[in-house]
Amino acid sequence: MAKKGRFSEFGDAIRNFWNSPGIPNFIEILEKGLDKELFFDPEKAGERIPLEDLPVDFRLRQSGFLRKFYERVFPVSHLFRITHRYEREFLDGFMPLAAENYIGRGSYKFVYALPWNQVVKIGKSKLPSDPIFGSLYKEVQKNLGKYLKPEEIRLMEFLQQGIWRESLRDEIRFKFARLGLERLHYWKLKSLIPDLVLPTRFFMGLRFRKSPFGIPVITLTPCDNQNLLPGKHLKEFIRLNEKIRQNPIQDALFPKWKLNFDTHRFGVVSKAKLKKIALDFHRVIEVTRHLANEEKLIFDIHSENIIITIPDFELKIFDYHVFDEHLYEPSKENPSPEVDHINLIKEFVRSFELG
């Protein structure tokens, strides 16, 4: 009860903060300190983090045959940030891309490593019917000026000016609203567990692909970038050595295993570090409960959203999406959908055997 009360008070404080006169706008708050946290000097960036030290999820990294064929015919070349300056579109922040620097894909983004130990995540094309575009997207659509910078609003309007087809103008607005939505998802978590959520800058990007005909293929798409951390996905620490008993058919066709944390797989994790990781997991559980109870939102957390850094063994969350509660089908065991996520975390923490 005390923990729930603390989060309720925190939520009230945020609401009072938003309603106070003369406060900085959403973007100023969100991007405060990012210039320092995400600063890089390509000339002094040091050695790149070896690929073997990065989180690996081969299921996410692999693409199907058609996608691989497309990438071969139209290979990625580079990416710019695009904004509006000098009364026209303005490109800056050149980011070289290459197939060999592709390090993963999720449901909504392709991820590439940059030469200066950062990653850039490039948004995939999505239809408005996707479940990510729920109540929070409607909030952003109604208040674009709150979630987009003034120069981003000007860019959107500039790009729409020369287009006569209403559907194409709507598509441009949709992409900019999605950029604002990504920022809002990030804020939902960053405001509650700031030290666990990786600093992230969201921007509108212009991606270039090479074409066999010499004409570049250019795509306007929301992007974000983060510092690249050496570490491993949660699932890479899992040791499957204890089978969960089910009926004979399920045991044969759909075996289940207990999630046991392997404390020696990537170096010895001390008991003090395990206690800190366990505490941070309990904080994630409290945030998940808070979002579900107070805002009817489900923090869609999975093992591929979390890494444990190496050699420090610290918990970090680097992907942030929340969905409307009604989009989830509750199970018979867990009538409230966030319980499935919470139980998975609890089971994992129990394997630490901390008592």
312-31-131 Cα angle (round to 5): 85
pLDDT at position 49 is: 84
Structural domain for 203, as ranges: 45-228
Question: Which position has the token pair 């020696």?
Answer: 264
Distance CA 294, CA 4 (A): 10
Residue 311: asked if its preceding bond is cis (omega within 30°), the reply is yes
Asked which of 228, 250, 274 is the last residue of a domain, the reply is: 228
pLDDT tens for each residue of 151-164: 999 999 999 998 99
Question: What's the mean pLDDT when you consider all of the chain?
Answer: 84
For residues 133 and 256, the model is more confident at 133
Domain-located, residue 25: no
Co-location of 187 and 265 in the same domain: no
CA distance linking residue 238 with residue 262, whole number of Å: 6
What DSSP designation does 267 have?
A: B
Taking the CB of residue 65, how many other CB atoms lie within 10 A of it?
Answer: 7
| Same-domain pairing of 139 and 74 | yes
Vertex 188, ends 222 and 173: CA angle to 5°? Answer: 30
Query: Which position has the token pair 């997207």?
Result: 137
Q: How many CA atoms lie within 13 A of 65 on its CB side?
A: 0
Distances from the Cα of 327 to the Cα of 139, 184, 187, 305, 340, angstroms: 17, 19, 21, 20, 14
Among 288, 314, 283, residue whose Cα is nearest residue 301: 288
**Per-residue model confidence as pLDDT tens digits over 24-74:** 588 888 888 898 899 887 777 677 888 788 887 766 677 778 888 888 899
* pLDDT confidence bin for 2, thresholds 50/70/90: very low
Residues 68-114 pLDDT 10s: 888 889 999 999 999 999 999 999 999 999 988 888 888 899 999 99
Q: Tell me, yes or no, whether 263 lies in a domain.
A: yes
At how many degrees (to 10) do helices 150-161 and 166-190 cross? 160
Of residues 174 and 64, more confidently modeled:
174
Residue 1 belongs to some domain of the structure: no
| Strand 243-244 versus strand 256-257 pairing type | antiparallel
Distance CA 114, CA 97 (A): 7
- Whether 244 and 174 share a structural domain: no
pLDDT of 343 strictly over 60:
yes
